[in-house]
Each structure stands twice: as structure tokens, then as C-alpha cells.
Amino acid sequence: QDIFNDYLVEFRSVNLIIQGAAELAFENGDFDYAINCAGETKLGQTDQVYEEGVYKVSVNCASAAAKHGVKRFLEISSGQIDSNEKVEHKESDQVKPWTKVAKYKLQVESDLKTIPGLKYTVIRPAIVYGIGDRTGLTPRLVLGCIYQHLGESMKLLWSRDLVMNTVHVHDVCCALWYLIQRDDTVGQVYNVVDDSHTTQGSVTEIISDIFNINYDYYGNILSSLCKGDLSVVVDEANDKHMGPWADLCRLNNVENTPLSPYIHQELLDKKHLNLSNEKLKATGFTLTQPVLTKQLLLQVIDDLTEMKLFPKTMST
């Protein structure tokens, strides 16, 4: 709130799905940079929702930026691109999105090239975590909390080797500010990912340590059998988790929290998120948080607890 109250900050609320409204954001302003952090991020929506909330929002903002002579437009795209378990995906490799959000973000990337006068840069972040995160690794923290409450072992689909690259939110912010000021990054795409080589196994180990719980995996064979009826698996898991989470929140006076253990089917397929950060590092960029640690996830929990969005008695 202090930031919004600063005299240097002007807050404008407009419907970016409408081209004319998007241009209002640039009215009476002589901006050097425009960074698009907007867009629909909720999973499980229809294509129409993402076409409007992702594609139209981004293209409208980019078009308005070009029209008003913004020196650089930065688009935050998606790293949810099907990649190989062993080989890191480079920006120049063929792209195959595995979520609808990524599908429409990649359409945006393609169409930015066609906007006259637009000088742009694109970043594809891995799974973003850190203070303020609600959709990256935080849902897994919620699940850890629930299984501590239940006193049960947490079982996950696939195996510990499922690649799920991460990046701290501070490094995302540093990267976009660093890239947007360089002349040699115009028209370029950059993966933004840390050096952790994070996998489902490494994340789960940290979470099990935080909440002192046991965990196991169904394995690739059994998980593949479940894939044929994945909607049933998802429904059963959500039924199991939602009740205990509601109980935990009630017992700890946590009201109106945006956090949820709800699992979307899009995230349960065996899709690796394995990105290369070689191109970003070649520019001279240095990560401030190169490795995912227990302490960094505890900071997330502490922040959420302080805001009364996470059960206080369950954070350690």
C-alpha cells in the first residue's frame, strides 16, 4: 500500500481486453519502458477466456506501447513448454506448450514481431517462487501443511525425476529490468531460470523437511495407468485435501485466504519444465538466488503467516 501511496506512482484501472481502454494506460505519459505483468493465470478455463485474458491483453498493451512511442516493451511469457528430461530447452528450440496459458502466450510472442514500431523483449520464467507467490511452489507448501495435519504420508504422481525448474521472484524482477535497458536484447526471448536443476524430488525433500512428513511416489508405470482416468484421480485428490485445509484455516483463524490445495489436471501430466539459462547468463546477468533452499521457502511461509493467509501453527 505504501508503494501505491507514493507520489511517483499513478494507479489506473482499465479493461485491457479492450484496445481503446489499454491505450488509456499510456495517455499523457512519456514512458521509456512498459512491462506487461497482466493476464489470466487461473488454470482450467476455456480457450475463449485465455484468448481474451492472455492474448488480447498482451497484444493490446504492445500495440498501445508502440503507438505511444514506448522505448521498450517487455512481455512476461511462459516457460511451460514441453522439454526433455535430460536436455535443457533453449529459446531457439521448437516450442510445444503444455498449458493453455502457455499456448496463448506463445501466440503473443509470435505476433509481437508483426506490430509496427514495437521494440520488445520477451522472458519465459520457470516456476516462480518467493514472497508473494501463490501459484508457483506455494500450493505444494499447502499440501505439506495438510499432510502434517492428517499425519499421513504424501504420495505424488510420476517420480522424483520429474523436472520442474524454478526461479526466485527477485531474480525475475532483476532480469526484466536488466534486459529492458540493453540494446542487444531487442526482439529477443530469454529463459529466466535458476541453477537449481529443480525436480519434483528436490522440492518434495525440502517440503517434507519443513513439515516433518513422509512422502512417496506412485512411479511412472502406475501413474501412466492413472493417466487414462486422470479426471477421477484429480477429483479424489481435491476431495481429500479441501476439507482438511478448510479445517486448518478455521482452527487458526485464517479467513478469506487465496491459497488452496486444489489441483488442476493441466499440471498433473508428465511434462518436464527444463529450461536453459545460458543465453541469459551470456548477457552478463547474475542470479541473486541461484539455488532453491529451505530457508527461501520458509520466508514464503512466514510472510503468508504474518498476513494471516497460512495456518500459523503449521509453519516451522
The predicted structure's pLDDT at residue 233: 77
CA dihedral 199, 204, 209, 211 (to 10 degrees): 150
Phi-psi region of 26 (alpha: psi -120 to 50; beta: other; left: phi over 0): alpha
151 and 266 assigned to the same domain = yes
C-alpha closest to that of 63 among 28, 20, 97, 101: 20
Q: How many domains does the chain have?
A: 2
User: Bridge-partner residues for 275, per DSSP?
Assistant: 89
* β-strand pairing of 189-192 with 215-217: unpaired
In a domain, 156, yes or no: yes
CATH assignment at residue 61: 3.40.50.720
In a domain, 173, yes or no: no
15 and 67 assigned to the same domain = yes
**pTM for this model (two decimals):** 0.93
The predicted structure's pLDDT at residue 83: 84
Report how far apart, in Å, the C-alpha atoms of 304 and of each of 141, 238, 309, 316 are.
11, 22, 5, 13
The predicted structure's pLDDT at residue 65: 96
In a domain, 230, yes or no: yes
Give the residue from 66, 99, 125 where a domain finishes.
125
Domain with 301, as residue range(s), is 132-165+196-271+289-316
Mean pLDDT by 10 residues, the chain (316 residues): 85 90 86 95 92 97 96 97 89 94 97 98 98 94 95 89 96 98 97 97 96 86 61 84 95 94 83 96 98 97 95 69
Query: 98 CB contacts (<8 Å, ≥6 apart)?
Result: 80, 81, 82, 266, 269, 271
